[in-house]
Amino acid sequence: MKKLINKPADFARETIEGILAAHGDELKVLDGSWHRVVRADAKQAGKVAIATGGGSGHLPLFLGYVGKGLADGVTVGNVFASPSAEDMYEVDKAIHAGAGVLHLFGNYGGDVMNFGMAKDLCEMDGIEVTEVLGTDDVASAPKGEEAKRRGVAGLLFAYKTAGAAAEQMMPLQEVTRIAQKTCDNTRTMGIALTPCIVPEAGKATFSIGDAEMEIGMGIHGEPGIERTDLKPMDEVVDVMLGKIFSDMDFGRKVAVLVNGLGATPLEELYIAYRRIYEVLGKKGISIHRRYIGEYAGSLEMAGMSISLLNLDDELTKLMDAPCCSPFFEQTH
């Protein structure tokens, strides 16, 4: 294992300490615990609070989307491990501003269980909590079983729309509806070229040949749906888009996310976008917004994912709203 770290056991904590040292004007911890991170600005009374969370190792997911017009707090676990229900509960209480809390996170067993327990604790305190799970990964369950799918990079879209809805002082049920509508209209497909190494494990999460790629690989190294010889980028994009389009009918306008998993050069992501732009153009689908870069990583895994959000007028306005966090800013 070659990593620029100190002790493997300190990796997640020291990451958060570095982020807080750099962005202490925007983020702060609760009770001295690096597992509990919230916005540093004052709460707005009557605004719906949005809480997210998950394991470390995915920057800028999940922590990176805490900020104005996005989420209000995040619970951070160790690498690829769910944070505790107690930490989630403390974040919920801290960000609650009188209008309830939306739990918005990816569909992973430990997170589902712990956020569910935190929800129960909040409701015992009289805090209303709703829940929306990201389930955008088309490779992780067949069509018709969307509720079993993993949440991956497409969560960005839900943070964006739900965060805008909350910023506009919509009530909890409306913010929840917007988040669910966004997740229902988002599809993601990924590929991996190399594994990553969890610092405390000290070895690769899986093995793959030098001339191979895995279609549908998860962001923790979960098996995909097919392992093939490495193909030219245009062919790779065509396969990924084919899986997405076979899963859902898209209208005339979308948002596109081309996401690098940690070790894919930006140049390669733009080569992918070039092909996406060409394919969507031939289908008569306009790209209203495009995001190209690292938005949901998997340590040093080489690979990428493509996410499409089917846009209507309501979601378009919310995607266009300004937002700001240390890792993600949109001014217009």
**Phi, psi angles (nearest 5°) of residue 249:** -85, 130
Q: What is residue 70's three-state secondary structure?
A: coil
Q: For residue 85, what are its two tokens?
A: 């229900």
Sign of the C-alpha dihedral computed for residues 64, 70, 76 and 79 taken in this order: negative
Pairing of strands 101-106, 129-134: parallel
Distance CA 112, CA 110 (A): 5
35 carries an active-site annotation: no
Q: How far apart are CA 133 and CA 180, in angstroms?
A: 8
23 is a catalytic site residue: no
**Cα–Cα distance between 113 and 119 in angstroms, integer?**
10
Residue matched to tokens 């160790």: 78
| Burial tier of 109 (Cβ tally within 10 Å: 0-12, 13-18, 19+) | exposed
Gap between the Cα atoms of 55 and 11, Å rounded? 12
- Exactly one of 35, 58, 96, 103 is catalytic; name it: 58
Which of 23, 35, 220, 332 is flagged as catalytic?
Answer: 220
Sign for the pseudo-dihedral over CA of 207, 212, 214, 219: positive
Q: Are 185 and 309 in contact (CB under 8 A)?
A: yes
Q: Which residues contact 321 (CB under 8 A, 6 or more apart)?
A: 69, 160, 164, 167, 168, 330
Q: Are 65 and 328 in contact (CB under 8 A)?
A: yes
The residue whose two tokens read 């988040």 is 179
**Across-strand partners of 79?**
56
Catalytic amino acids?
Answer: 58, 220
